Amino acid sequence: MHTMMLKHPQQKYRAFAPIALPDRRWPDAQLTRAPQWCSVDLRDGNQALIEPMDPARKLRMFQTLVQIGFKQIEVGFPSASQADFDFVRLLITQNLVPDDVTIQVLTQARDHLISRTFESLVGAKKVVVHLYNAVAPVMRRVVLGLDEDGVVDLAVTHAAMIRDMAARQPGTEWTFEYSPEMFSNTDLHFSKRIVDAVTATWAPTPTRPCIVNLPSTVECSTPNQFADMIEWMHRQLERRDAIVLSVHPHNDRGTGTAAAELALMAGADRLEGCLFGNGERTGNLDLVNVALNLYTQGVSPGLDFSDIDAIRRTVEHCNQLPVHPRHPYVGDLVYTSFSGSHQDAIKKAFAARKDGEIWDMPYLPVDPKDLGRSYEAVIRVNSQSGKGGIAYLLESDYGLELPRRLQIEFSQVVQAVMDIDGKELGSDDLWALFAKEYRPEQAQLARVEIQEQELGAGGQGADVSVRAQWQQGGQVREVHGRGNGPLAAFVAGVQAATGVSVEVLDYHEHALSGGAEARAVAYLELRVGGERTLFGVGMDANLVNASMKAVLSGVQRALGESRDTATKVEEISV
Ligand SMILES: CC(=O)SCCNC(=O)CCNC(=O)[C@H](O)C(C)(C)COP(=O)(O)OP(=O)(O)OC[C@H]1O[C@@H](n2cnc3c(N)ncnc32)[C@H](O)[C@@H]1OP(=O)(O)O
Ligand SMILES: CC(C)C(=O)C(=O)O
Ligand SMILES: [Mg+2]
């Protein structure tokens, strides 16, 4: 019968036993500097791929890692396959490893694999030889068939073999690394015992340290418990001053990043992981995530992700696996807000932000531009959006600075379309909707004549008379009015022409930047027919004409509501 989730999972699974570390110090620690980074993309990442990388992809990955700034790169498991062996040979014989980069290779604690590993390394300048064997009780029991003494002996014998083989190749600068595999599932006292035995064999010194790498081969506890384990080892290990303490988290519980960060707080010096978290099962630690978490705390990670999208494309090509659109820092959607209230806050914060200020941007933990992203995708409009997002797009891409009440009015137009269509609207779509609704340029004004006459001492202001021709629907209409300014005169003319009262309640204007010619836009809030309040928008090279067009835009909209717009527009004539 098909098995189902258990009502009493304690019958099948047991909780991780807490670590006895009442005086733990890591909770008060702060991350103030970057760790040593080691990429294992070409080994742990590669061994988890559906199709392991071919030589061209491996080389591309290696060069990308070098460009990012990794100084330690695990390049393979040379005794496991001819492909891995050949790749290590290629790097060495073609001199493809920069002087400041150390390659690292993995080997099991088995004689023939170690011999083959050293064969692959002939002529290398600097190498980390990484030895591992399983230490967890289940692995001792079912895989190795050894008791604790037997496993310690396995590790020490092969650590000695490595030491001796390295001594026979003095032209290479060697560093040794030991990983008790499945450290996360192993009793701490046994982990300490085996690590101490290995480091006693290697006899590292503070100036020639070895690396002790503690993997959560399978993540099986909360990150605070992993941190307790790391602090325990950090405090208990012998020869600690001659050890670079490394961690190698996997992500089975989805907390690989947290585990790594807390492990650093607990005393680790070095992290192993992969770009964007590729690796066995749910992946290795995502090194980009940790590096950029540090960056957003003001700590330089020493790795360069200035063009994070190019790096993602390379990684996707090499791994033949996509990066999720919501992946931290790099996903397509991670700098995008669809929700109206988020958009509103971002728009206001961008407007308030001054150059050189500390980054304090709602909903954006990092400046997308630092990672080679533009602000274009920061706001995208769908049915969850509000006026702020719509206004932001029209301003960023079309230079329109809509007054607040016009934003509210136009967002209702957009929402009505969204309610029917439900699809995302880009700035081009929004502009098309705006142009259709307000016709800011359609009202063709021609032969505008403005005559101004100063009134005498007893009079007030100026007496202005406006005559204009309005070409609409293939016909030429005349508008003629008088007032104390061109706009007032024009409004009077339109009132006379339509028989409808028009009152200007509010007026905004600005120049439109961009384009060959200077242009202006006018936004008029009008009361038309004594009741309805609404906006008209006009654009023209001439500011006065823009405001006249805005009057026509608003009147057309108001009259178009009660009767068919096209015919009503035709009626607005003298
Ligand atoms: C957690 C990690 O990521 S560890 C890295 C794992 N990486 C990989 O496995 C990828 C590359 N691996 C390989 O290509 C192969 O597994 C090899 C070359 C390492 C070994 O291949 P094979 O000798 O054919 O063995 P196989 O793959 O079946 O591995 C199981 C054998 O290794 C033995 N073994 C496993 N770990 C160890 C160890 N640390 N020390 C000694 N023997 C070990 C097992 O006992 C088993 O031996 P058995 O066949 O006598 O029962
Ligand atoms: C070889 C070791 C470090 C490993 O990959 C693991 O335990 O996850
Ligand atoms: Mg691993």
Residue 539: phi, psi to the nearest 5? -130, 135
Token readout for 46 is 């590669």
- Is 141 a pocket residue for ligand 1 (Cβ < 6 Å)? no
CA angle 226, 202, 193 (to 5 degrees): 40
Cα gap 465→94, rounded to integer Å: 85
Q: What is the pLDDT of residue 570?
A: 36
Judge if the beta carbon of residue 83 lies within 6 A of ligand 1: no
**Residue 383, ligand 1, Cβ within 6 A:** no
CA angle 166, 117, 128 (to 5 degrees): 55
217 touches ligand 1 (CB under 6 Å): yes
Beginning with the edge strand found earlier in the chain, give each strand of the sheet holding 519-528 in spatial order.
Answer: 502-512, 519-528, 532-540
209 C-alpha to ligand 2 centroid (Å): 20
The CB density around residue 251, as the number of other CB atoms within 10 Å, is 24
Q: What is the reported pTM?
A: 0.85
Identity of residue 173: E
> Is 219 close to ligand 1, i.e. is its CB under 6 Å away?
no
- What is the Cα–Cα distance from 262 to 225, expressed in whole angstroms? 9
Which residues fall in the annotated binding site? 44, 248, 250, 284
Count CB atoms within 10 A of the CB of residue 383: 16
Ligand closest in space to the Cα of 154:
1
Q: Which atom of ligand 2 is nearest to the CA of 215?
A: 7
Burial class (CB in 10 A: 0-12, 13-18, 19+), 145: exposed
Cα angle, residue 52 at apex, residues 63 and 286 outer, rounded to 5°: 60
At 566 the pLDDT is: 35
Q: What angle do CA 96, 97, 98 make, to 5 degrees?
A: 115
Minimal CA–CA distance to 86: which of 29, 42, 44, 40? 42
Ordered DSSP codes for 542-574: SHHHHHHHHHHHHHHHHHHHHS-HHHHHHH---
Which of 162-194 are b and which e, b meaning 16 or more Cβ less than 10 Å from the residue's Cβ? bbebbeeeeebebbbbbbbbbbbbbebebbbbb
**209 phi and psi, to 5 degrees?**
-70, 165
3-state secondary structure string across 463-500: EEEEEEEEEECCEEEEEEEEECCHHHHHHHHHHHHHCC
Look up residue 250 and give its amino acid.
H
Q: Are 217 and 184 in contact (CB under 8 A)?
A: yes
Question: Nearest ligand to the C-alpha of residue 130?
Answer: 2
Residue nearest to atom 4 of ligand 2 (CA): 217
Task: Give the whole-angstrom CA distance, residue 37 versus residue 69.
Answer: 9
ipTM of this complex: 0.95
Residue type for 290, please? Answer: V
Distance from Cα 107 to the centre of ligand 1, integer Å: 10
Q: Which parts are annotated binding residues for Mg(2+)?
A: 44, 248, 250, 284
Those residues whose beta carbon sits under 5 angstroms from the ion ligand 3 are 44
Largest CA distance in the chain: 114
Beta partners for 467? 449, 480
Q: Tell me the mean pLDDT per 10 residues along the chain, length 574.
A: 88 94 98 98 97 97 98 98 97 98 98 98 98 97 96 98 98 98 97 98 98 98 98 98 99 98 99 98 98 98 98 97 97 92 92 95 96 87 88 93 95 91 90 95 78 66 83 75 93 90 95 78 95 93 92 89 39 31
Query: Among candidates 268, 270, 267, 245, which has minimal Cα distance to 36?
Result: 270
**Residue located via tokens 């492990």:** 263
**Ligand 2 geometric centre to CA of 183 (Å):** 9
Q: Is residue 140 classed as helix, strand or coil in its secondary structure?
A: helix
Instruction: Give the ligand 2 atom nearest the CA of 43.
Output: 5
Compute how many other C-beta atoms are within 10 angstroms of the C-beta atom of residue 332.
Answer: 15
Q: What is the per-residue pLDDT for 515? A: 60
CA distance 554 to 536: 4
Residues 519 and 539: beta-carbon distance below 8 Å: yes
CA distances from 499 to 42, 493, 502, 528, 554 (A): 79, 10, 9, 11, 15
- Quote the CA–CA distance of 131 and 181 in Å, as a whole number: 10
Q: How far is the CA of 182 from the centre of ligand 1 (A)?
A: 14
Quick check: CB of 335 below 6 Å from ligand 1?
Answer: no
